[in-house]
Amino acid sequence: MTDAAMHIGELAERTGLSLRTLRHYDEIGLVTPSGRTDGGFRLYTADDEARVMLIRRMKPLGYSLDQMRELLDLINLVNANPRDPELDARFESVRQEALERRDRLRIQLAAAEEFVAQLHARSTKV
C-alpha cells in the first residue's frame, strides 16, 4: 500500500457516495479496499476510486449490483486479455446493451423535460 491510499471518508467525499454505500459495496464484494490499516480501517487506492466511479456511471443505466459485478469482472478480463476474440465479442455485446440503456434514459429525460416545461408554462399563467 502506498502513501496515496485514502480512508473511506476521503473516498466517499471524492466519489459523492455515502460511507454506508461504500461499506455495503465492500460487504458484497463489489469494491474491496486494497488494504487496511493496523487498526482495521479500510484503505483505498486510485484504482479503487476508479472502480467506484465506474459503478456510479452504471447506476443511472439501471444495472443491478450483480450485473455491475459481472460487468466489472468482464472489464478486468478484457484488460488482462486484450486480444481474446471471445472476450471482445462479449464486451461488444455489453457495449451495445449500454448504448440501448442510455438511449432509453435519454427518452425518459426528454419526457421529464417536457413535463417540467408544461409545469413551468402553467405556473407563469397563474
**The domain spanning residue 46 has which CATH number?**
1.10.1660.10
Question: Which residues, 6+ apart, have CB-to-CB distance to 31 below 8 Å?
Answer: 22, 25, 48, 51, 52, 55
Q: Is residue 88 domain-resident?
A: yes
Q: What is the pLDDT of residue 1?
A: 54
Q: What is the pLDDT of residue 11?
A: 98
Q: What is the pLDDT of residue 112?
A: 97
Q: What is the pLDDT of residue 123?
A: 84
Q: Is residue 110 domain-resident?
A: yes
Mean pLDDT of 8-34: 96
Mean pLDDT of 104-111: 97
Give the chain's mean pLDDT. Answer: 94
pTM: 0.84
Q: Is residue 1 domain-resident?
A: no
To which residue does cell 397563474 refer? Answer: 126
Answer yes or no: is pLDDT of 126 > 70. Answer: no
Domain count of the chain? 1
Domain that holds residue 72: 6-125
Q: What is the pLDDT of residue 124?
A: 80
Q: Is residue 17 domain-resident?
A: yes
Q: What is the pLDDT of residue 16?
A: 97
Q: Is residue 89 domain-resident?
A: yes
Q: Is residue 51 domain-resident?
A: yes
Q: Is residue 33 domain-resident?
A: yes
Integer Rg of the chain from CA = 19
Q: Is residue 121 domain-resident?
A: yes
Q: How confident is the model at residue 2 (pLDDT cuts 50, 70, 90)?
A: low
What secondary structure does DSSP assign to the chain, as a single string?
A: --TT-EEHHHHHHHHT--HHHHHHHHHTTSS--SEE-TT--EEE-HHHHHHHHHHHHHGGGT--HHHHHHHHHHHHHHHH-TT-HHHHHHHHHHHHHHHHHHHHHHHHHHHHHHHHHHHHHHHHH-
